[in-house]
Amino acid sequence: MVHIDLKQVARLARLHLTEAEMKLLEPQLGQILSFVESLKEVKVEGVEPTSHPLSLSNVFREDQPHVKAVEPERIQAFIKNSPASRGSFFEVPKIIEDKS
């Protein structure tokens, strides 16, 4: 069975997992990844990866703000969705340490 360093992956995903959750997840993920191991049977030498089902190309346009989007009440509609805000800013815990 494939083994995952769950603590490390959870840290990368910025996701807090309890001990009980990790105990449950470990065998489940192992089972899923063991199933996925079957992909090794497919010959893929020289095969281009498909990241997208259609052949798309870049779409360019002028970089202009949408008039409606910059109206103050529109900005408030976005700010209001934040669990913590002040004026037109999102509020987060302090991120710069005090000099000691």
Partner 1 sequence: MNLSQKTAFELAESCRAGKCSSEDILKDLARAIEAKDSSIKAYVRFDAKKSLRRTVSKEAPLYGVPIAIKDNICVENEAITCGSKILQNFVSPYNATVIERLLDAGAVIFGRTNMDEFAFGSSCETSFYGPTRNPHDLGRVPGGSSGGSAACVAAQTAIAALGSDTGGSIRQPASLCGVVGIKPTYGRVSRYGLIAFASSLDQIGPLTRDVRDSALLLKVLAGGDPRDSTSANVPVPDYLSFLGKDIKGMKIGIPKEYFKKEGLSPAVEKAVRQEAAQVLEKQGARCEEVSLPHTAFAIGVYYIVAPSEASSNLARFDGVRFGWRHPSTGNLLELYEKTRGEGFGSEAKRRIILGTYSLSSGYYDAYYLRAMKVRTRIKQDFDEVFKKVNVILTPTSPTPAFKLGEKATNPLEMYLSDIYTISANLAGIPAISVPCGAEVRDGKSLPIGLQFMAKPFDEGKLFQIAHAFEGTRI
Provide the binding-site residues for partner 1, judged by CB under 8 A: 4, 6, 9-10, 12-18, 21, 24-25, 28-29, 31-33, 35-36, 38-42, 44, 47-54, 56, 58-59, 61, 74, 77-78, 80-84, 90, 92-95
CB of 42 to partner 1, least distance (A): 5
CB 63, min distance to partner 1, A: 14
* Residue number, 65 or 93, with CB nearest to partner 1: 93
Smallest distance from the beta carbon of 77 to partner 1, in angstroms? 4
Question: Are 19 and 38 in contact, with CB atoms under 8 Å apart?
Answer: no
Compute the least distance from the CB of residue 52 to partner 1, in Å: 5
| CA angle at 30 for the pair 17 and 5, rounded to the nearest 5° | 50
What DSSP line would sit under 3-15, residue for residue? ---HHHHHHHTT-
First vs last C-alpha separation in the chain: 49
DSSP string, 76-95: HHHHTTSSSEETTEE-----
For residue 16, give the 3-state DSSP assignment: coil
Give the residue with the Cβ less far from partner 1, 16 or 99. 16
